[in-house]
Amino acid sequence: NAGVTQTPKFQVLKTGQSMTLQCAQDMNHEYMSWYRQDPGMGLRLIHYSVGAGITDQGEVPNGYNVSRSTTEDFPLRLLSAAPSQTSVYFCASSYQGQGGYGYTFGSGTRLTVV
Partner 1 sequence: GENVEQHPSTLSVQEGDSAVIKCTYSDSASNYFPWYKQELGKGPQLIIDIRSNVGEKKDQRIAVTLNKTAKHFSLHITETQPEDSAVYFCAASTSGGGADGLTFGKGTHLIIQP
Q: Which residues pair with 31 in a beta bridge?
A: 94
> Contact, 76 vs 63, CB < 8 A?
no
Nearer to partner 1, 12 or 41 (CB): 41
Burial class (CB in 10 A: 0-12, 13-18, 19+), 19: middle
The one among 43, 61, 67, 72 contacting partner 1 by CB under 8 A: 43
Nearer to partner 1, 17 or 45 (CB): 45
Burial class (CB in 10 A: 0-12, 13-18, 19+), 32: buried
- Contact between 41 and partner 1 (CB under 8 A)? yes
- Contact between 44 and partner 1 (CB under 8 A)? yes
The one among 50, 61, 72, 73 contacting partner 1 by CB under 8 A: 50
Q: 43: which residues sit within 8 A by CB, 6+ positions away?
A: 35, 36, 37, 90
The contact pattern for partner 1, residues 64-103, with x = CB under 8 A and - = no contact, is --------------------------x-x-xxxx--xx-x
Contacting residues toward partner 1, per CB under 8 A: 4, 30-31, 33, 35, 40-45, 48, 50, 56, 58-59, 90, 92, 94-97, 100-101, 103-108
